[in-house]
Structure 1
Amino acid sequence: MKVFFLACSIMLSVFGSIAQVKKTNTPATTPAGFLIKGKIHGITHGEIYLAHYFGSTQQVIKDTAQADAQGNFVFQGKEELPKGLYLISFSQNKYLDVILGNTNFSFETDTLDPINHMKFQNSAENEAFFGFQKEMGKRYVDLRKLEMEKKDPSQIALVRKEIVQFQQSWFEKNKQLFVSKLVKATFEPEIPPFKKKISTSKDSTEFFQYQFTYYKKHFFDNLDLNDERFIRTPFLQRKLEKYFEDLVVQQPDSIIKDADILLTKIKNRDVRRYVIYKISSTYETSNIVGTDAAFAHMGEKYYVGEAALWDTTTVRQMRDRIKVLKPLLIGKRIPELYLSDPTGKRLTTSSIPGEYTLVYFYDPDCSHCKEETPKLMAQANYFKSKKISVLATSIARNKQQWIDFIKEFKMESIYNGVDIHLNAKTGKEEYYTDFLKTFDIYSTPIIYILDKNKRIIGKKIPTDKIQDFISFYENRQKELGIK
């Protein structure tokens, strides 16, 4: 089976462009190129890697160096490196995070305690970065000690206050540096006190609603959404994932609304491309029924609608993908299937009765279909109790193979169809349906569930989740007062 997602090709396009070495809007402080000298005591020979983050799940290697017997190594190149948060990997699972602003600096540390023993030359960003880590590390050790010893609460509160004062002072001192933005991005928004006294359960509900609303509205306040250097850190991706997973209702209308609101705040070209890609790819491959409508919206509005952001191949692929998806969104009447049944008679989707219709696309030669089809047929009594008609459709056009499959899995009690039609004039077989382009059948088996009007209410439902889905759907209809 070939499984293809447009996100894969778009990812290559976006990645190839964003990961290029390029000039940023940050004023240059060094000539083009980079020269980074390092010494890590405790290393004797071995390869050292310099890579920048690309979101929280990928790193892009930009250079390698060979350490000598004393742990000295040099990264050097003639092209400017993109600014952001980098890691220097010096042994298996051991690395240092460093900030690349000025790309001509040196440092020295050891393998025993890389942070506390770190010394930089000619890098204000990293001096501030490691200074912050050292000081915060010491203060949190003191705080944890007091908490474990269960000291006077006022003493613990004083230490906490001193930590906050240190952070505020540090931010003010380093406000011109990217490291200040970087550290700030790790902070959650601070929610102001609730002004109303909580006396009743209604007050409590209002309190929690106030907290949630404020938190969601200000979720991105501490991250500069127009600084492209954040693409090369883990924080932008983590923020996006948390926002859309935890704070956005996983229904198309809500996803679309919140995505649009977020993108009105992003003007920087590279950040905009990155965020559009991340949201789009999330909902193209989501397992939540119906969220592909959000993907279709993103593709139509931000790929096709903002074609200047992308290369022509990406726009064309997205336009083609949307053309396939839009007729298959939840609530749409499924495109008509024109099939032949085992006796040679015409069989169409609209001719099948029932409160629900389950369309089961399969390939007789598919091993997974041979595993799932018995699970489908085992639910015959349930289907009958719910007035669910099952239309099993072979996407392969081998009549004997199709008939053998029906017999092998005892499918005679359901509707069976194949896209083979005999031309009365020529006597030749004709085919009507492009299953990939019309029904998005990129793997098999795939299940669509239709209501009595043949509108799509569920798709790509696992065979063993059909009953759960029907129960969920019917309960949802009752909640909405729909009969």
Structure 2
Amino acid sequence: MKRIFQILLLLSITGFSNQLLAQTSEGFSIKGKIKGIKDTTVFLAHYFGYNQQVIKDTAKVDSEGNFLFKGDKKLPEGLYLVSLPKGKYFDVIIGNQEFAFETDTVNLIRKMKITGSKENEAFFKFQQEMSDRFDEMKALEAESKKGKSATVDAKIKKVQASTTQFQKDWLKANENLFAGKLIKSSQEPEIPTYPKPLQTKADTAAMYQYQFQYYKAHFWDNVDLKDDRMMRTPFLQKKLERYFDDLTVQVSDSIAKEADFVLARATSRDVRRYTIYKISSQYENPKILGTDGAFVHMAEKYYIGEPSLWDTSTVRRMKERVAILKPLLIGKKLPDMYLTDTLGREIDIPRIPADYTVLFIYDPECSHCRESAPKLKKAYQTLKTKNVKVVAASIDRTPLKWKGFIKEFKLEELINGIDIHKNALTGKEEYYTDFKNNFDVYATPVIYVLDKDKKIIAKRLPVEQVEDFIDFTRKQKASKNIR
């Protein structure tokens, strides 16, 4: 489920980009002519990650393919795309705010001619050269497939070597251009040859470990995280996802450590805000159990700890989320939950004798809860033989609905609780449990799995995964005890 604050953050970040427009009145004027389109509309948009674009201008195309993007406020610099009918598009670099281009829909890149922009001249020359080399390589590979030929293989190696050299020469010649930064940021770090001989399986394993460690240590070498223009490219998001999904151990401490490492390099305001946002949003409702501790780290250090980067409402929301989530992290003891059973007796969860306790928080009228209840009853038949207790807590404080749910799904064997407590002096009903703020119940059902000491070891598991999780945890514990 998407958080409201995540939407606000996205609007805040894109809003910051829009603020840059107000900093100058120089404006922009970009003339285009594209053979193959006429009497239509084209769009100019900058990238915001690889899967979002922010439209900055539209232009009408005349009968000869001419159009003009024009505005009286300067565009934020970065990589833009010109979107054409039928899903066609091409990228341009916005640095210089006044230039012209001409191309043909037959081949938008190869036919491109630029006037008045050194950035785009270099950018398209690189693409054109690489396109020619790609076609040459493709033809040679097709020839090679017809029959192994040492001559063809030699030609392939020659093209590969010359392409590598071309890229190096081009990057050196254009290192002061944003085009150079763009191309460099898309390249992987070069891993040096492993310096030791491979004589055993252990040597091979050591080589792979060396390659991984080198690759990870140099992963950000080609990306300038001090340049705000990188936020308006598809490369920053791809790099962040690759680094945190594939190269980072998915436990909170490791994620937090790598986030600190990246953010030590991301010193420009826009890039820093974007990086903080992307990492934080990934781990607030994580796909991998227990990694929400990384979100708490990000929120405390980079939102609450750097309030000047954000508006006051964002910082306030982060403080609220931390206050809710921090007591519920894996390894923490379950906060006090005040429940009474069907006879009005207080349920003391910390004193429930069980190796594991499953806490099932539900709403009797919730459709997902009603789907989960039969599965829970079925799972309990096996769980109870393994010294596992199940506490089913209703967030609805209507006794009739609560008892009706228990009866309908035959949950009498469970420890059924509701937050209704009679005041001995007044005889009135009182409520003590704040399910939303103390147990992060924003949708039902919610499941917590507790160990013998009532520490949280899992949360938000689907009912059908509870038994497998407990079996896995039990085996891990037994394995540690043997060692």
**TM bin (shorter chain):** over 0.9
- State the match for 1:9 in structure 2: 8
How many percent identity over aligned positions? 51
Q: What amino acid maps onto 1:281 in structure 2? A: S
Q: After the TM superposition, which of the residue ranges 465-474 and 284-293 deviates more from structure 2?
A: 465-474
Residue 168 of structure 1: SS of its match in structure 2? helix
- 1:5 touches 1:285 (CA, 8 Å); kept in 2? no
- 1:70 paired to 2:64: yes
TM-score normalised to structure 2 length = 0.95
Q: What amino acid maps onto 2:180 in structure 1? A: S
Residue 80 of structure 1: SS of its match in structure 2? coil
- 2:22 touches 2:73 (CA, 8 Å); kept in 1? no
Aligned pairs for 1:99-138 within 5 A: 99-138=93-132
2:43 to 49, 55, 67: 49
- State the match for 1:208 in structure 2: 208
Is the helix fraction higher in 1 or 2?
2
Specify every segment of 5 or more residues in structure 1 that has no aligned partner in the other structure, as ranges: none
Deviation at 1:3, TM superposition (A): 6.6
Cα distance between partner residues in 1 of 2:52 and 2:223: 20
Cα distance between partner residues in 2 of 1:373 and 1:17: 47
TM-score normalised to structure 1 length = 0.95
1:61-112 alpha-carbon deviations (Å, 9 max, x no partner): 0011111111111111111110000011111311111110101011111211
Aligned pairs for 1:11-410 within 5 A: 11-22=10-21, 32-150=26-144, 151=149, 152=151, 153-410=153-410
- 1:356 touches 1:387 (CA, 8 Å); kept in 2? yes
Residue 453 of structure 1: SS of its match in structure 2? coil
Deviation at 1:187, TM superposition (A): 0.7
Residue 21 of structure 1: SS of its match in structure 2? helix
Question: RCO higher in 1 or 2 (8 Å CA, sep ≥ 6)?
Answer: 1
- 2:397 touches 2:419 (CA, 8 Å); kept in 1? yes
May I ask how many residue pairs the two structures share in their alignment?
Answer: 477
Cα distance between partner residues in 1 of 2:475 and 2:141: 49
Residue 206 of structure 1: SS of its match in structure 2? helix
- 1:48 touches 1:65 (CA, 8 Å); kept in 2? yes
Cα distance between partner residues in 2 of 1:21 and 1:269: 12
Q: What amino acid maps onto 2:360 in structure 1? A: Y
The CA RMSD measured in Å over matched residues stands at: 1.7
Deviation at 1:143, TM superposition (A): 1.5
Q: What amino acid maps onto 1:344 in structure 2? A: G
1:210-268 alpha-carbon deviations (Å, 9 max, x no partner): 00000000011111111111100000000000010000000111111111111112211
- State the match for 1:470 in structure 2: 470
Cα distance between partner residues in 2 of 1:378 and 1:403: 19
Residue 196 of structure 2: SS of its match in structure 1? coil
Deviation at 1:162, TM superposition (A): 1.1
Q: After the TM superposition, which of the residue ranges 421-430 and 189-198 deviates more from structure 2?
A: 421-430
1:452-475 alpha-carbon deviations (Å, 9 max, x no partner): 100000000011111221233233
- 1:83 touches 1:100 (CA, 8 Å); kept in 2? yes
Q: What amino acid maps onto 2:137 in structure 1? A: L
Deviation at 1:477, TM superposition (A): 2.8
Deviation at 1:478, TM superposition (A): 4.0
1:259-281 alpha-carbon deviations (Å, 9 max, x no partner): 11111122112111111111111
Cα distance between partner residues in 2 of 1:393 and 1:127: 66
- State the match for 1:450 in structure 2: 450
1:363-383 alpha-carbon deviations (Å, 9 max, x no partner): 011111111111111112221
- 2:422 touches 2:430 (CA, 8 Å); kept in 1? yes
Deviation at 1:13, TM superposition (A): 2.3
Specify every segment of 5 or more residues in structure 2 that has no aligned partner in the other structure, as ranges: none
Q: What amino acid maps onto 1:136 in structure 2? A: M
Residue 46 of structure 2: SS of its match in structure 1? strand
Cα distance between partner residues in 2 of 1:114 and 1:378: 61
